[in-house]
Chain A
Amino acid sequence: MMSGFDAAAGNFLVSALRSSTPLLWVLLGEIITQRVAIVNLGVEGQMLVGALSGFAATLATGNPWLGLAAGVAAGMLLSTVHAGLTVGLKANPFASGLAVWMLGFGLSAFYGVPMVGQKINGFAPLPLGFLSGVPVLGPLASQLTPTVVLALVASPLAGWWLYRTKTGLAWRAVGESLVSARTLGLKTSLVQVSGILAGGAFSGFGGAALSVDYTRNWVEGMTAGRGLVAVGLVIVARWNPFLAVPAALLFGGAEALTLRMQTSGVPISSHLLHTLPYLASLAVLVLSSRSANKEGGMPLGLSAVFSQSR
């Protein structure tokens, strides 16, 4: 027998996972990009073109998997602009990121007009096999969609890639010190570009997860700042893909909690509740920066961008 409380807790976990998923994808991408010492504020724009392309491709082909693939392609394509500006032309990454953000917003808004009000068929429920018969767990699992499950797999996979493969080693070496990486014979520009493009692929996927799977809808500017939140959460996740899930869950969970507290009839002002995700992230940031080592996991190559004291 499961009590009402257990069911509510289970529902909350599913809900937190669902609302964290698009964020988690972008967060993973931004972690990888920052590991090659490039900050990318353009992920918001990359997410938007990913969301639009994913929705459009799903509408055109009827296949949400192709939609996700289109989202990845679009996110990567737009991230080439950031790569070209920051690595190719050595432009200021913040200015370049903002330009990519605006470009992504403008392009998706313009080309998205005919997509508004269209109906797509998202993913069919996951085949659960024996699980579907299990009380509580079955109904909960039935609410998990492919992008949620994939996100949970992608996080350790990205961590493994970063810490256990040659490419990952190259990314990390470049992120720590361009000069030493160069003396090791690494083509640092190529390594940085690959890190930015990998980030673009993840943020494009995150956008497509939002439009194709989570909402099944396209609306202008529908990412609503999730990309920028992910940039901030990189610090909470300490540039570590393995910590991306708890960091994203912290924010997405707090967002889900604000909505759930309203349905539970707790008489707290909704305006106040809407600040909760930001307060929670801020609290973890303060706590973690006090307890951890001084670098906080930040690639040394980034410190020139982030820390004034160094």
Chain B
Amino acid sequence: MAIRAALSLLKRSTLLAAALGTAAAGAAEVKVGYIYVGPKSDYGYNYAMDQGRMWVEKNVPGVKTMSFENVPENAEVERVMERMIKSGCTIIFPTSYGYLDPALNVAKKYPKVIFEHAGGFKTAPNLGTFFAGIDDAMYLAGMTAGGMTKTHKLGFLAAHPIPQVLRNINAFTRGAQAVDPLATTTVIWTGTWSDPGKEAEAANSLVDAGADVLTGHVDSPITYTQAAEKRGVMVVGYHADASKFAPKGWLVGAAWNWGPMMGRIIKSVGDGTWKPEHIRGDLKAGDAELTAFGPSVPPKVKEMVLAKEKEFKAGAAQLWTGPIVKQDGAEAAPKGGMLAMASLESMDFLVKGVVGTVK
């Protein structure tokens, strides 16, 4: 028995060595794994990440990718990562927030594999993080909404009052107010990242309350975009271009552009310059962007928004410059003052002109 076990072990290790040998021989080809928490065709966050993957496959030579979607944020994702590593992945992008700790566990076990987590704030010798601020793009989308609204009422469907969502609501509102000082944003909390039934009704409630532009921050923009179109109001997208769901009412959207950043990360691994750091991009760097405008947006509004985009990109304008006034009238930042990165990442207030509560 012992001999048979030893033989089998020997056989397995030779197989492993052979497998490693082939991997080494094909070293010119890098295999990169992507893991998504939802479906990659949701026209939302996961879709945007997968667009990044496709950009990499097309534009970075010698890179092959594989992806798994609908992977829950628990031990399951560790198994998926190990499977990816066994099938030859040397770089892994776990793209959901809850994948951070599982990724740290797996990273410890496989020190030769590089992990790049989306949006986390922890690192390990072989784990770094990447993300981008989309605030500027949301501000520009808000300006478009402000230029188009007739009722001065904008509606925002939001999942949970976390800093990232509050930043988007506030950026959108400030953008709208820069064009239309009377503009207000009514927020509806759906209490969930994904419940199309509730999202449809929330969109209808906002329209009934007089909003003539809807936008939102939930997993997928499809439901509220279609609901807006059905009710004949305008819509501003988030995460990705979902204009096909509202051919008439689509104004513009704030979208991600992850491809180039992912490409740079993969290249840095290849040439040995990769470091476990927090990489953060923005509109200026091209990691977030404004989608194409819809057919109803007149040239006057487009020009105004694009001019502001130019200012952001040139660094001539900063979104989070004071005065920033909270709902209750207190000043979050005085005139000329700026909100620090730390207070942005922990934002817990809504600005004046937003109808709704944080709690």
Residues of A within 8 A of B (CB): 8, 11, 15, 18-19, 22, 109, 113-114, 116-119, 143, 210-211, 214-217, 219-224, 226, 255-256, 259-260, 262-265, 267-271, 274
Contacts and interface: CB of A to CB of B under 8 A. Distances in A.
Contacts of A267: 357
B29 to A, nearest CB: 27
A262 B196 contact: no
B168 interface: no
The 3 closest A-B pairs by CB, nearest first: A117-B41, A215-B196, A270-B189
B222 A117 contact: yes
Contacts of B69: 113
Chain B contact residues: helix, strand, loop or mixed: mixed
Interface residues of B, number: 42
B158 to A, nearest CB: 9
B39 A259 contact: no
Contacts of A274: 191
Contact of B205 (A216, A260, A269): A260
A276 B88 CA distance: 51
Given A15-B205, A109-B70, A219 B194 contact: yes
A262 B223 contact: no
Given A117-B39, A263-B209, A224 B201 contact: no
B324 to A, nearest CB: 21
A259 B70 contact: no
Interface of B: 38-39, 41-43, 47, 69-70, 155, 161, 186-189, 191-192, 194-202, 204-206, 208-209, 211, 220, 222-223, 226-227, 244-245, 355-357, 359
Nearest to A120: B226
Contacts of B357: 267-270
A283 B275 CA distance: 59
Nearest to A118: B41
**Most B-side CB within 10 Å, residue of A19, A262, A267:** A262
Contacts of B220: 117, 217, 219
Nearest to B204: A15
Contact of A215 (B188, B200, B208): B200
Contacts, number: 113
A263 B208 contact: yes
Given A224-B195, A263-B186, A267-B357, 5 more contacts: A22-B197, A217-B220, A219-B196, A263-B188, A270-B359
A161 B195 CA distance: 34
A259 B188 contact: yes
B191 A116 contact: no
Contacts of B208: 8, 11, 15, 260, 263
Contacts of A219: 42, 194, 196, 220, 223
B5 to A, nearest CB: 38
Given A214-B197, A262-B189, A263-B188, A117 B47 contact: yes
A222 B356 contact: no
B201 A116 contact: no
Contacts of A217: 196, 220, 222-223, 226
11 contacts: A113-B39, A118-B41, A143-B204, A215-B199, A219-B42, A220-B70, A259-B188, A262-B188, A262-B205, A264-B209, A267-B357
